Amino acid sequence: MPTFSFKGRDASGELVSGRQEAASAGQVAAYLTDRQITPVSITVASAKKEGVGGEIKLGRIRWLEKVKLDELIMFSRQMYSLTKAGVPITRAIRGLGLTVRNPLLAETLNAVATDLEQGFTLSGALNRHPKVFSRLYVSLIHVGENTGNLDAAFQQIAKYLELERTTIKNIKSATRYPMFVIIAISIAVAIINVFVIPAFAGVFATLGAELPWQTQLLVGLSNFTVNYWYLIVGVIVVALVSFFRYIATEPGRLRWDRYKLKFPVVGGLFYRISLGRFCRTFALVLRSGIPIEQSLTIVSGAVGNAYIGSKVSEMRHDIERGEAISQSAHGSGMFSPLVMQMIGVGEETGNIDEMLAEAADFYEQEVEYDLKGLASAIEPILIVAIGIMVLILALGVFLPLWELNTTVNR
């Protein structure tokens, strides 16, 4: 079926454009008219874009494209407003597909609208696009469909995604400063190896003095770096590629996420962020009326840490065997005493979702406090690293100069 590019004006007079598959230009015109869009121009997409070369280029773009969290929040809020106002779902999604700027999101929304026209439920149509809509998103929409509160489901999702955006910003804030320190020290070591030590080595060679073993070691390392830099770069590239391919596997991701929780300084911060996300997500799905077993399956994939997610999956198996939530949580050995108490009180009062939401608020406040003190916690490590670099320079570079100066004075 050919693809047509169209331009038209909506009910407010604004110019809209897009692409639509249809058997003829007349079908495209009828499609636009049904959506209160007056066609201005309808043309067949160029063969160059639809050809083999165009497909390769389009495939590369699609591979790189993704929907940002801010765009998903905006879509959810717009859907909340439209559904609350009584706009039909298919018309609302089709209209939003014409207004969004992200090509992947626009294409996805058009596909969802087409599926709705073919008889799919909204949750079923969204579930066909896991790259854009997560399992949690689809599950909440499914609950909203079954309860007749679809607008409330979109509002709930938007609020949750806003909290998720805050969590992601906290994670980036936690890792930005340590990464900057590591990169700065690596650049400094590279500059010393490539430029500073060879300059001193030339001076020592002209003097013909016997060099201390510390200086000989530094000069040897510097010569190896200068002469075989391509081997060093190659080893680093291979190591990075191997590392990322390993953590892309399920066992590698599980082990790496477990190690991240043990990192000095930031490991505890990652742990509290993951626990806060668990409490927030679990409270949300329980409040939506999703069964506990299904809720834990959703939460295990939404906590952002494969190791903690595996512990949540173990909880689900324990609950399926008849254990209480508090017992399964205690058996996992993952949760802090605060969460354990919150779950226990929630079971007794029947308000687990409220208790978990309060625990999530507590962890988010703790994370915010820890981030403010992160710089002061890393400063001693930075001072020690700089001190070691200065010591190496002093022993390797200035020690021969001191010995040479002592010999001349004698």
Q: What is the pLDDT of residues 359-398, one digit of tens each?
A: 888 888 888 788 777 767 777 877 887 788 778 777 777 7
As a whole number of angstroms, the distance between CA 164 and CA 157 comes to: 10
Which amino acid, 214? Q
Residue identified by tokens 């209160």 is 36
As a whole number of angstroms, the distance between CA 48 and CA 37 comes to: 28
Q: Check if the beta carbon of residue 367 is closer than 8 Å to that of residue 272.
A: yes
Q: Which tens digits make up the pLDDT trace of 93-135?
A: 988 888 888 888 888 898 898 888 888 889 889 988 888 888 8
Percent of the chain with pLDDT over 90: 8
As a whole number of angstroms, the distance between CA 275 and CA 340 comes to: 12
pLDDT above 70 for 54: no
pLDDT above 60 for 224: yes
Q: Which of 116, 76, 69, 126 is nearest to 94 (CA)?
A: 116
Question: According to the model, what pLDDT value does residue 256 have?
Answer: 92
Residues 143-158 have a mean pLDDT of 85
Matching fold, domains 69-161 and 267-372 = yes
Residues in CB range of 355: below 8 A, 6 or more apart: 342, 343, 345, 346, 349
Least confident residue range of 155-169, 297-311, 380-394? 380-394
Q: Check if the beta carbon of residue 299 is closer than 8 Å to that of residue 322.
A: no
Q: To 5 degrees, how large is the angle CA 106–CA 108–CA 113?
A: 95
Q: Check if the beta carbon of residue 75 is closer than 8 Å to that of residue 108.
A: no
pTM assigned to the model: 0.66
pLDDT above 60 for 407: no
Question: According to the model, what pLDDT value does residue 52 have?
Answer: 40
CATH, domain 267-372, list 3.40.50.300, 1.20.81.30, 1.10.3720.10, 1.20.140.10: 1.20.81.30
Q: Which tens digits make up the pLDDT trace of 7-16?
A: 887 777 677 7
Question: According to the model, what pLDDT value does residue 408 have?
Answer: 54
C-beta neighbour count of 63 within 10 angstroms: 8
- Range 69-161 classified under CATH 1.20.81.30: yes
Domain ranges in the chain are 3-64, 69-161, 267-372
Question: According to the model, what pLDDT value does residue 136 have?
Answer: 82
Burial class (CB in 10 A: 0-12, 13-18, 19+), 256: middle
pLDDT above 90 for 240: yes
Question: According to the model, what pLDDT value does residue 63 have?
Answer: 59
As a whole number of angstroms, the distance between CA 327 and CA 153 comes to: 31
Residues 175-187 have a mean pLDDT of 79
Average pLDDT of the chain to the nearest whole number:
80
pLDDT above 70 for 208: no
Residues 10-27 have a mean pLDDT of 72
Find the helix or strand (DSSP H, E) in which 400 lies: helix 399-409
Q: To 5 degrees, how large is the angle CA 268–CA 274–CA 277?
A: 140
